[in-house]
Amino acid sequence: MSEKTPDLHAAYALTSPDDNKRLYAEWAGDYDDCFAAREDYQLYIHTARAFVRSGGQGPVLDVGAGTGLCGAVLADLGVGPIDATDISAEMLDQAMRKDTYRDAIEADLTQGIPVPRHSYSGIVSSGTFTHGHLGPEVLPALLRVARPGAQFAVSINAKHYEKLGFADAFRQLQQGQIINLSLPEVRIYGDLAAGPNKDDTAYIGLFERT
């Protein structure tokens, strides 16, 4: 059992891949009801819609797919096929129960994604780049599995965009690896949210791989 109770505060305090695995193993079964619904979580909807508005299409890799909330919205918007990758086998098990995904890939992004290069025409990630999770050091792993011209929609907690080095990383990537970067800012939670994080926002990094 983890020493952290599965909740938003504990998720924001994560500092290592092992912490992630322990917390989300416990949280997987009631994540949708006890977090997403109760906190009026909206980021995955914004991210999926932004991807589609930008012309994104399948095959898509949903990075940090969790229980499959973002993938379900993508599927409802007519996008597919969609594969899911996450560090948590338990979260992926919940995701696959939604009958949204073609395949599930358990992976620690800091160690790369075990699929061939240029496998996907779209990369989507909602809620993965946030407090205590992952920084821009894993962006090359996402670029490796994306085809030339692939559309990305990657949410990044706004409080950590500069602090964790995303701004610098995107400036470097624009020197030949990505084009057409835009960063719309959206609310992470809806009007029904309460608590200290209810007004948090995220940038959705929209760009194309060269």
Instruction: Provide the residue range defining the domain that includes 179.
Output: 8-209
Give the CATH number for residue 51.
3.40.50.150
Average pLDDT over residues 162-175: 95
The model's pTM is 0.84
E strand segments, 64-111: 82-86, 103-106
The answer as to whether 93 is a domain residue is: yes
Is the N-terminal amide bond of 116 cis, ω within 30° of 0? no
pLDDT in tens, 28-84: 445 444 555 567 889 999 999 999 999 999 999 999 999 999 999 999 999 999 999
Whether 64 is in a domain gets the answer yes
- Is the pLDDT at 163 greater than 50? The verdict is yes
Residue 20, helix vs strand vs coil:
helix
Can you give the pLDDT at residue 63? Answer: 97
Residue 169 has pLDDT above 50, yes or no: yes
User: Above 80 in pLDDT, residue 17?
Assistant: no
Omega before 17 cis (within 30°)? no
Number of domains in the chain: 1
What pLDDT shows up at residue 134?
Answer: 82
